[in-house]
Amino acid sequence: MLVRSVGYRESAVVEFQVLPKAEQRRLKDALQRLADSFPKIPPDLDVERIRGTETLWRLAFGNYRCVFRLEKDRLVVFTVGARTGFYQRFGES
């Protein structure tokens, strides 16, 4: 599958903007590298499918997490946040 772009839901844009600038750059770089290589996942990226879902994926970067899915030829970010309490949004502890 060819991924042509990375997009953000409106709520994810707001969450992204409150990240420290260094983490914003780190996330943007990781997402672009992931999009460029998908369906292969670069070995230095911590990406896993979220348990109990078929379409949601998690990218871990430092103390932050990002949830995304593929929509046609686009990688769409749904939510971004600190690791603490992040997985409770998805029924995981």
What's the CATH superfamily of 5-85?
A: RelE-like (3.30.2310.20)
Q: Do residues 42 and 33 lie in contact, with contact meaning Cβ atoms separated by under 8 Å?
A: yes
Containing H/E element for 8? strand 5-8
Write the single-letter amino acid at 44: D
pLDDT band at 1 (very low <50, low <70, confident <90, very high): low
Condensed to tens digits (0 to 9), the pLDDT of residues 31-78 reads: 999 988 887 889 999 999 988 888 899 999 999 999 999 888 899 999
Question: Does 90 have pLDDT greater than 80?
Answer: no
Question: Does 87 have pLDDT greater than 60?
Answer: yes
Rounded Cα gap, residues 66 and 16, in angstroms: 9
Predicted TM-score (pTM) above 0.75:
yes
Question: Does 23 have pLDDT greater than 80?
Answer: yes
